[in-house]
Amino acid sequence: MSSAPVRPSLRARVAHWRVRYALLPFLATGTAVVLRAWNLDGFPYPNGDEGTYIAQAWAVRTGRGLSHYTYWYDHAPFGWMQLAALQQLLPSDAVPGELYLQQARWLMLPVAAATNALLYPLARRLGLSRATAVAAMVLHALSPLAIELERQVFLDPFATAWTLLALVLVLSPRRHLALYALAGCCFALAVLSKETSLPVLPAVLWALWTHSRRGSRPFALAAFVSGFLLVLLWPLYAVLNSELLPGTCHVSLVDTLLWQLHDRPTSGSAFAPGTAAHALADRWVHRDGPLLAGGTLGALAALADRRLRPLGLAVAVLTAFALRPGGYLPWMYVTQLLPFHALALAALCARVLRPGRRGHTLLPRAVRPVAAVLLLAALSALCAPRWYTLQREVQGADYTRSYEQAARWLKTAQLKDRHRLRLLTDEILWLEAVGSGFTPGAGAIWSYKLDKDASVASSLPRGWRDVDYVLSTIQVRASATEKEMRGLRRLLKHAEPVAYFNEIKLLRITDAVRRDRTIPDPPLLPDVARCLEHSTDIWPYDGPGGKHAPPPADSGL
């Protein structure tokens, strides 16, 4: 007579499900990485800022300084220093991709994984359940905006990861002063990665003050501030280089900050149709409206909950900073909002469906399962079309093909003494030109610097006529529409087309154009002309084949 099967004890069943449950955060982060890696080489279209940060990371890694041209304090340098460290750890031979851009995008995947993974401990320390924490990770993993932005080489993903880590440390149940000091260091590194992290400081301080023990709050705050003093390394660097205050013919941290705050062209109001900010906000909503709207509602609800108030405050201050009138709003700014929106939306759904700490809930127990199914169906109906549209675009996109073709030409064209040739192009192809043998700075010339950098101007005695070739991309032609880019406009107007790589044009300056004195030369910008005699000629060659020589006749074209 066989004995009846022994039913596992309740403790054994709970332990079994906990082991399975523990795998869910890893699955969520793995999903986030896979979705961001899918066709990473072909989507999205290259952004000029990506090329700038990659070139700056190259300058750090090769010991040339903090930038491939004069570092003018446009951003704190820690963001591309981290990219340089990743490039050093994973050399180009170990990373897929034909372009330097594509290889750098692959290096952003660990940053995206860290951001997604940090949502779990942050949610748990905010008092949310395991299921809610995993739901927040899934919302962030599936976010169309996050999928697009976190695969690009921007500084914001680095800053976002450091900000989340600072909050995780501040909310640690150990409440140790060393953790608060470490949190201050992490938030300082977030600001040194991208200054737009600074608005989150009130949320971090609120979490610190409310979570620390009442008697030790002043000490906790002092520990955090002591760690946050790491941010002073940036102005200290400016002081040591005599570049803190404005002066004649040198860059200045204060001057750049004043330009960022007051003199930079504004994006207008997000509420005014026809402005750049309105178009950008509309693009964000079109891409990921459900998460942005649901996260905003969740943040409002979080402000009423003491434990979740840091989350609501973070969303509120970041949103207010984005919607401020008269400011500059970049496309990638929303990157740091998305993790907080995912947490806020998951917390709101949990509040609707599950009882709180005192047993209160918005719905009776009997209807909660039905409400959960309806809520999941509603979210799926709202998000699925956008997610499906994005995935179709991602799978079929080949937005880097023209850049790949141009890079192949740079590597294979029969150009004699290419290190003595002048090639002007955009930020993306600049490093491709350097890697193909063109001289950095005044041989491979970033189009933006042609009219605005005194050291470049001093190395081009005949101005735009000294340029041999142009790889004219959409970004180069867009730069030429700026009022100050007089030489670039003249160059594009009189250069002769040689080849086409889809939307990228290869242009050449002929000897006839160089000698044609009926073509007037535009005057230098006042700031460039004033500083010309104080600048350094960055072109290392002279004489035959040097700065006064025409391009070789046997160039292979």
**Per-residue model confidence as pLDDT tens digits over 172-231:** 999 999 999 999 999 999 999 999 999 999 999 999 999 999 989 999 999 999 999 999
Q: At what angle do helices 427-435 and 100-107 cross, to 10 degrees?
A: 110
Q: What percent of the chain has pLDDT over 70?
A: 88
Task: State which H helix or E strand residue 149 sits in.
Answer: helix 144-149
Question: How many Cα atoms sit within 13 Å of 177 on the Cβ side?
Answer: 11
Q: What is the mean pLDDT of residues 67-96?
A: 92
CA–CA dist 197, 336 (Å, integer): 8
Locate the domains of the chain by residue range.
Answer: 46-107, 108-396, 402-534
Give me the pLDDT at residue 84, please.
Answer: 97
Give me the pLDDT at residue 555, please.
Answer: 42
Q: What is the mean pLDDT of residues 494-512?
A: 96
CA–CA dist 128, 122 (Å, integer): 9
> Are the CB atoms for 443 and 420 separated by under 8 Å?
yes
Phi-psi region of 556 (alpha: psi -120 to 50; beta: other; left: phi over 0): left
Token pair listed for 451: 């009219």
Q: Find which of 2-6, 81-85, 243-247, 375-379 is predicted with most confidence, using mean pLDDT.
A: 81-85
pLDDT of residue 57 exceeding 60, the answer is yes
Burial 503-535 (b: 16+ CB within 10 A, else e): ebbbbbbeeebbeeeeeeeeebbeebeebeeeb
Q: How far is CA 82 from CA 190, 205, 504, in A?
A: 11, 26, 31
Task: From 473, 501, 474, 511, select the one nearest 413 (Cα to Cα).
Answer: 501
Q: How far is CA 355 from CA 112, 120, 347, in A?
A: 32, 20, 12
Task: From 287, 273, 270, 272, select the one nearest 329 (Cα to Cα).
Answer: 270
CA–CA dist 463, 524 (Å, integer): 9
pTM exceeding 0.85? yes
Task: State which H helix or E strand residue 204 sits in.
Answer: helix 201-211
Give me the pLDDT at residue 1, please.
Answer: 47
pLDDT of residue 376 exceeding 90, the answer is no
CA–CA dist 480, 520 (Å, integer): 17
Token pair listed for 228: 């946050």
> What confidence tier does 363 reach under pLDDT thresholds 50, 70, 90?
low
CA 404, 405, 406, 407 dihedral sign is positive
DSSP 120: H
Q: What is the amino acid identity at position 405?
A: Q
Q: What is the mean pLDDT of residues 394-418?
A: 92
Give me the pLDDT at residue 547, please.
Answer: 46
> What confidence tier does 265 reach under pLDDT thresholds 50, 70, 90?
confident
CA–CA dist 147, 139 (Å, integer): 11
Decide: helix, strand or coil at residue 461.
coil
> What confidence tier does 396 reach under pLDDT thresholds 50, 70, 90?
confident
pLDDT of residue 36 exceeding 80, the answer is yes
pLDDT of residue 167 exceeding 70, the answer is yes
